[in-house]
A = this chain, B = another copy of it.
Amino acid sequence: MNSRHDATGVCLRDLAERAGATLVGDGSVVIHRVGVLHHAGKGAIAFLSNPSYRHLLAGTHASAVILAARDADATSLPKLVTPNPYAVYARVSAILNPPPVEAAGRHETAIVAASTRVPSTSMIGPHVVIGERVAMGERTHIHAGSVIGDDCSLGDDCVLHPRVVMYPRTKIGARAIVHSGAVIGADGFGMAEDDGRWLKVPQLGRVVIGDDVEIGANTTIDRGAIEDTLIADDVKLDNQIQVGHNSNIGRHTAIAGCVGIAGSTHIGANCQIGGAAMISGHLSIPDGTIISAATFVAATIDKPGVYTGSFPLLPHREWQYVGAILRRLRTLAGRLRALERYAGRKGE
């Protein structure tokens, strides 16, 4: 665990160079922190990414701004000009707020099984439990109360926040960030009905996660039934996502909070899935697909695009009417057809 303190300050010229942006104006101004346009004060750098906030430029008290060339004339402040202001802001913020240095070492209350070697560069927090034969990368930090099952592996430079669980045999690549309460590798929901009882189907597969993956708080990813559940490199998962067994999420796909993905579904690379979307099992979503928030995907999607399926919000009374008509939409369509036939006869 760490605290964020105000940065000691970096001059704008250095920020331009390190973040890869063009400096326009006084490069000697010292930047201590990032801020938002309408609240930033002296020593802060703000950014303009969405042009609809352009009007805030005039009134900002920031010491510098990050923006695109098209907006550069709208302010006389020292600035970093770039085609991708949001990415430059991300880099500037990371420079100004380096992750806290945490001492390596193993807390005396951590329990580590005999066959697991803990690299001297790693940090193992209080009350952590690590099973047998776990492979741990360098500089990986496992915070308080996390539990790592037997035969797991974790790459270099990972951070597991407090109270993460990895079930046995789960594999996570390098530079993962896993937030508190995430549960990776629990049994998939597999059972066979037999004479009025459920028989549990053993869940023998693993969860295998690539490099540079972030997993949000209280997100759950189930192990496969026979084969593995796979999460590719650079996948970003927000909080409270559920990934069913044997699913497969392609490279660089980002999924917002509260999304549910049923089992054996294949989501391609470079997809974006909006919050609370729900995706059925045994289907496929092609690379580059965008699913809007609160959309239910019930069948395979054949070609990439933007897909939506949410019910529009209405004043409750209006919704009652619409709902009632919707329930008899079939009758309505029939009445329309009848009128058309009638008009057809009349028109003869």
Contacts and interface: CB of A to CB of B under 8 A. Distances in A.
Given A180-B165, A217-B220, A319-B308, A196 B226 contact: no
Interface stretch (A10-18, A23-31, A70-78, A232-240): A232-240
B179 A180 contact: no
Contacts of A179: 183, 186-187
Contacts of A316: 290, 292, 305-308
A309 B314 contact: yes
Contacts of A234: 197-198
B296 A313 contact: yes
Contact of A326 (B39, B220, B312): B312
Contact of A262 (B162, B256, B319): B256
Contacts of A39: 227
Given A162-B147, A183-B179, A293-B280, A307 B313 contact: yes
Contact of A275 (B262, B276, B347): B262
Count of identical protomers in the assembly: 3
For this complex, into which size category does the number of interface residues on chain A fall? Answer: 35 or more
Nearest to A310: B296
Interface string A259-298: 0101000000010000110101000000000101111111
A183 B181 contact: yes
A332 B340 CA distance: 11
9 contacts: A3-B133, A86-B193, A145-B163, A161-B186, A191-B254, A198-B252, A258-B260, A307-B316, A335-B336
Given A3-B168, A3-B169, A318-B327, 16 more contacts: A86-B192, A90-B202, A94-B200, A97-B204, A109-B111, A186-B216, A186-B217, A196-B252, A240-B242, A276-B296, A305-B315, A308-B319, A309-B311, A310-B311, A332-B333, A346-B346
